[in-house]
């Protein structure tokens, strides 16, 4: 087992097109966001495992010996198995988490225990660890905060247990893992996501692991070739919602109205494919007409997402306010509140962008102007981090 401090970080994500449809086997296009989650892991010999999540005010410590005594044989399967509902229920019992409550801090603790007990069980003894996770991502806003959390946990636990090697070499401030290791990180992170979300598509953890811009369909991931550096406004309506409930709602609507909802999902699939084609053309020479096509695709998809039942009045307001400034927006992620994206064409005057941002902020929303396509899971030299990250992780 490794003995030094590890610091890893993983990005959040924005889905350009294909949310919800991707759960039903359709194509999604997703990009890594310039907002990250950071994890610091300190191995100890104090016989304790501590998980500290300052963003959600949770700190929990377990005695390694009592975890060691638990009957976790129900976890003993092949590498990165998909957690079953029975396993998750059993884990709740073991962790003393109420059966019928699914508050975010319980789910985060549960995902940690699942990954810790499953990944570390091959060690002679379960390791004593002190883990702090801190995020720049707002939770529950559709920006993949839970996936970034699971990806960080998977990467740090696999590294400390030496299932994958530490890629940070002398003199590096930051490094990334090779492809095979990223695949393993992604598989385990998907398990963490399943503990939290039930039946996610896997797109969020894939983007957080690989970074950049991805096409995702039924677990098949491919990077988009030289995607243009799109600028967007990312707006958080701050309306809370549950991804699990929204995904279940779409499934129910599909069961109830297969002839209506099936074609909507097929049309979203076609929008993702058309967007991918246009982004491919833009790699060579981006032109204003292509931005206009991207705007049309955004408008059509937003209507479809409303028809799937995952819209919200706050998102309607976001789209209306941006439209008053000539801008085109759609929800991103699960919808029902959460975040929306607004495309910024390169021909826009600075004053127009500022006016739109001000109008959105005036609605009580948080609004950031950002670029997309950040690097995936990375490992940092602990002493190279400064400012709020360093403070939040308890000083490095």
Catalytic residues: 146, 204
Q: How far is the CB of 13 from ligand MEV (least distance, A)?
A: 7
CA torsion, ordered 100, 105, 108, 113, to nearest 10 deg? -70
Looking at the Cβ atoms of 61 and 218, the one nearer to ligand MEV is 218
Q: How far is the CB of 369 from ligand MEV (least distance, A)?
A: 21
Looking at the Cβ atoms of 29 and 64, the one nearer to ligand MEV is 29
Residue 194 interacting with ligand MEV (CB under 6 A): no
Q: Interacting stretch for ligand MEV, rule CB under 6 A, among 198-206, 291-299, 350-358, 364-372?
A: 198-206
Burial class (CB in 10 A: 0-12, 13-18, 19+), 45: exposed
Residue 334 interacting with ligand MEV (CB under 6 A): yes
> What is the H or E stretch that residue 57 is in?
none
Spatial CA neighbour of 182 closest among 149, 213, 204, 205: 205
Give me the long-range contacts of 202-206 (CB less than 8 A, separation at least 24): 203/13, 203/15, 203/18, 203/22, 203/28, 203/30, 204/13, 204/30, 204/144, 204/146, 204/147, 205/144, 205/147, 205/150, 205/151, 206/30
Distance CA 143, CA 11 (A): 9
Looking at the Cβ atoms of 20 and 40, the one nearer to ligand MEV is 20
Among 8, 11, 20, 127, binds ligand MEV (CB under 6 A): 20
User: Coil, strand, or helix at residue 386?
Assistant: coil
Binding residues for ligand MEV restricted to 211-270, rule: CB under 6 A: 243, 247
Distance CA 186, CA 367 (A): 30
Looking at the Cβ atoms of 108 and 379, the one nearer to ligand MEV is 108
Q: How far is the CB of 250 from ligand MEV (least distance, A)?
A: 8
Residue 7 phi/psi, 5-degree rounding, is -125, 125
Among 8, 14, 16, 23, binds ligand MEV (CB under 6 A): 23
Among 136, 204, 269, 276, binds ligand MEV (CB under 6 A): 204
Q: How far is the CB of 16 from ligand MEV (least distance, A)?
A: 12
Q: How far is the CB of 73 from ligand MEV (least distance, A)?
A: 30
Binding residues for ligand MEV restricted to 358-377, rule: CB under 6 A: none
Q: Which residues pair with 234 in a beta bridge?
A: 341, 368
Q: How many CB atoms lie within 10 A of CB 5?
A: 15
Q: How far is the CB of 18 from ligand MEV (least distance, A)?
A: 7
How many residues of this chain interact with ligand MEV, rule: CB under 6 A? 14
Looking at the Cβ atoms of 16 and 120, the one nearer to ligand MEV is 16
Q: How far is the CB of 202 from ligand MEV (least distance, A)?
A: 7
Looking at the Cβ atoms of 22 and 379, the one nearer to ligand MEV is 22
Binding residues for ligand MEV restricted to 131-150, rule: CB under 6 A: 142
Residue 302 interacting with ligand MEV (CB under 6 A): no
Distance CA 48, CA 116 (A): 13
Burial class (CB in 10 A: 0-12, 13-18, 19+), 285: exposed
Among 19, 130, 136, 269, binds ligand MEV (CB under 6 A): 19
Looking at the Cβ atoms of 15 and 133, the one nearer to ligand MEV is 15
Q: What is the CA radius of gyration of the chain?
A: 21
103's CB contacts (< 8 A; 6+ apart) are none
Among 249, 333, 336, 337, binds ligand MEV (CB under 6 A): 333
Spatial CA neighbour of 332 closest among 9, 26, 12, 11: 12
Distance CA 249, CA 292 (A): 32
Distance CA 11, CA 32 (A): 6
Residue 201 interacting with ligand MEV (CB under 6 A): yes
Looking at the Cβ atoms of 127 and 140, the one nearer to ligand MEV is 140
Q: How far is the CB of 90 from ligand MEV (least distance, A)?
A: 24
Residue 203 interacting with ligand MEV (CB under 6 A): yes
| Site residues (vs ligand MEV, CB under 6 A) | 15, 19-20, 22-23, 142, 200-201, 203-204, 243, 247, 333-334
């Amino acid at each position: 087992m490794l003995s030094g401090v590890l610091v890893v970080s993983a990005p959040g994500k924005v889905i350009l097109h294909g949310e919800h449809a991707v759960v039903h086997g359709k194509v999604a296009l997703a990009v890594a966001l310039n907002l990250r989650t950071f994890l610091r892991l300190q191995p100890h010999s104090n016989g304790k495992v501590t998980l500290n999540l300052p963003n959600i005010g949770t700190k929990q410590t377990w005695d390694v010996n009592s975890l060691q005594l638990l009957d976790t044989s129900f976890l003993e399967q092949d590498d990165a198995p998909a957690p079953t509902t029975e396993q998750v229920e059993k884990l709740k019992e073991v962790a003393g988490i109420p059966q019928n409550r699914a508050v975010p801090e319980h789910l985060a603790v549960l995902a940690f225990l699942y990954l810790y007990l499953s990944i570390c069980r091959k060690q002679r003894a379960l390791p004593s660890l002190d883990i702090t996770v801190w995020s720049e991502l707002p939770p529950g806003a559709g920006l993949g905060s839970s996936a970034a959390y699971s990806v960080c946990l998977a990467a740090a636990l696999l590294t400390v247990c030496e299932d994958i090697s530490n890629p940070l070499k002398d003199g590096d401030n930051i490094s990334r893992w090779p492809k095979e290791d990223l695949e393993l990180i992604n598989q385990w992170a998907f398990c963490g996501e399943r503990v939290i979300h039930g039946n996610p598509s896997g797109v969020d953890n894939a983007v957080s692991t690989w970074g950049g811009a991805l096409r995702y369909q039924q677990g098949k991931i491919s990077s988009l070739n030289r995607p243009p550096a799109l600028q967007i406004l990312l707006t958080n309506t701050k309306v809370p919602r549950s991804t699990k409930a929204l995904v279940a709602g779409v499934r129910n609507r599909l069961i109830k109205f297969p002839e209506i909802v099936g074609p909507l999902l097929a049309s979203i699939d076609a929008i993702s494919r058309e967007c991918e084609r246009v982004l491919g053309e833009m790699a060579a020479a981006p032109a204003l007409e292509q931005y206009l096509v991207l705007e049309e695709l955004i408008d059509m998809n937003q209507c479809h997402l409303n028809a799937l039942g995952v819209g919200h009045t706050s998102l309607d307001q976001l789209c209306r306010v941006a439209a008053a400034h000539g801008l085109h927006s759609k929800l991103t992620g699960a919808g029902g509140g959460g975040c929306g994206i607004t495309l910024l064409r390169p021909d826009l005057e600075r004053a127009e962008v500022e006016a739109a941002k001000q109008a959105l902020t005036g609605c009580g929303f948080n609004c950031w102007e950002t670029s997309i396509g950040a690097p995936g899971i990375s490992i940092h030299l602990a002493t190279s981090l400064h400012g709020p990250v360093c403070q939040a992780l308890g000083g490095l």
